[in-house]
Structure 1
């Protein structure tokens, strides 16, 4: 059972390990992050919520590693099918049963390399929500452009992802991870002006929906949150926190903003 300390978090920090780490490396890294989370006031005081998304085979042991911390765990994808004869797939019911809280949906790499289209993303989003998982919906434009056009692309992707889902409930638990495709894997993120402009318009669009946060990903790392807050509710991190010391720097940054 996760430790709940303090009030609701002001920030969301997510980390996807993609397929960079091996099994033992994943566990070693998670042990270090668990130790950091147990000591750092940003997590202990619930100023920020931290979630980690490892590869499928590591989910169960990673859940164990974080079981006595405030860190949550998610999956990098889920099947559009809930169960059945679908070799190699992992459905929402199993992820929820394991203890996952989050699931990443619609990442640019899934769209580009594995054929995830708007229809499959909508089905996956609905499956996740129906089984109590919080989608980390990755949205973003393919090519650099102006702020208004980028925001409209993201809004269209968000609306499409909810096309199979009823909004009758008073609370829709979802994280919108704004990741301009052209900034993923680059040496630096999009400009501060671009990030704050797009995130600001996204937050305006979802302002009537309680439980929907907007965070920025796409080569996000230490030093960025200070310049994009309060337009972004947090960050979706990748390779820039493969060294746990970088995560400490970001947690220090959150504490300073707070």
Structure 2
């Protein structure tokens, strides 16, 4: 049996509350009627803003879509004004949580040490971290992969066992008009994917690509990634549907290759 293709979406802070819930309702309808999502061949997760998380869990119930959060606290409880713990996120039904995104590092000065604490907090509460890694500037693929693996090793050092979703997002490509060139992504991702699949105690871990990802990219990346992490492109659920269709084709091809 082949591993499913993963498609993720983070809304960041682009939507208001009502718009977020309407979008979730549209995604729920899309997911319930999409054969690949319904069968489990394609795994879809969506990450709205904090205030919408409980409602999103309710709206998406029964659709097989996993709801995530964009951040979590390093601690599970205590006097941490404004923070949200992994305990509370797990309680309301969150299945994944972003950790280490380049914007958190740049805008809120999150260090490798903070990323490691948040990774551990997610895993000890049974939440899969969507662990964002990526080089700041374009480099030779081997050098870029080396920096990404350094970040991955730092984040997982001492962390509890459990599945992780590693999101390769070259920082220089985030928010760009076009993603990084496919051959560059493939060269780096091939190294990363081999390392992620060999992580001890982390069965089911996957490598997905983010950074101005859109339609057609997943097909170009072939078997060097397990899926894609979308941003503004997926604000249009019809566009998200096209990526799910593409993911379904990739999943079907891989299944045929396994059985042939």
Q: TM-score, normalised by structure 2?
A: 0.93
**In structure 2, do the counterparts of structure 1 residues 24 and 16 end up closer, same or farther at CA, with 3 Å as the change threshold?**
same
Matched, 1:202 2:216: no
Quick one: which of 197, 203, 215 aligns to 2:208? Answer: 215
Q: 1:207 and 1:99 mapped to 2: Cα distance?
A: 26
In 2, are the aligned partners of 1:15 and 1:238 still within 8 Å (CA)? yes
Tell me the residue number matched to 2:47. Answer: 53
Q: CA deviation at 1:164?
A: 2.7
Q: 1:256 and 1:136 mapped to 2: Cα distance?
A: 24
In 2, are the aligned partners of 1:9 and 1:46 still within 8 Å (CA)? no
Q: 1:28 and 1:8 mapped to 2: Cα distance?
A: 33
Alignment RMSD, CA only?
1.2
Matched, 1:111 2:105: yes
Q: CA deviation at 1:163?
A: 1.5
Q: 1:61 and 1:206 mapped to 2: Cα distance?
A: 33
| Stretches (4+) displaced over 4 A | none
The SS at the match of 1:138 is strand
Cα deviation, 1:155-177, whole Å, max 9, x if unaligned, reads 000000012325xx5xx300000
In 2, are the aligned partners of 1:9 and 1:49 still within 8 Å (CA)? no
Q: CA deviation at 1:256?
A: 2.1
Cα deviation, 1:83-137, whole Å, max 9, x if unaligned, reads 1111000011000111100000000000000011000100110111011000000
Q: TM-score, normalised by structure 1?
A: 0.94
Tell me the residue number matched to 1:192. Answer: 182
Tell me the residue number matched to 1:178. Answer: 168
Matched, 1:162 2:152: no
Matched, 1:139 2:133: yes
The SS at the match of 2:27 is helix
Q: CA deviation at 1:229?
A: 1.9
- For structure 1, list consecutive stretches of 5 or more residues without a partner in the other structure: 1-6
Tell me the residue number matched to 1:15. Answer: 9
In 2, are the aligned partners of 1:216 and 1:232 still within 8 Å (CA)? yes
- For structure 2, list consecutive stretches of 5 or more residues without a partner in the other structure: 253-260
Q: CA deviation at 1:27?
A: 0.5
Q: CA deviation at 1:8?
A: 7.5
In 2, are the aligned partners of 1:140 and 1:153 still within 8 Å (CA)? yes
In 1, are the aligned partners of 2:73 and 2:85 still within 8 Å (CA)? yes
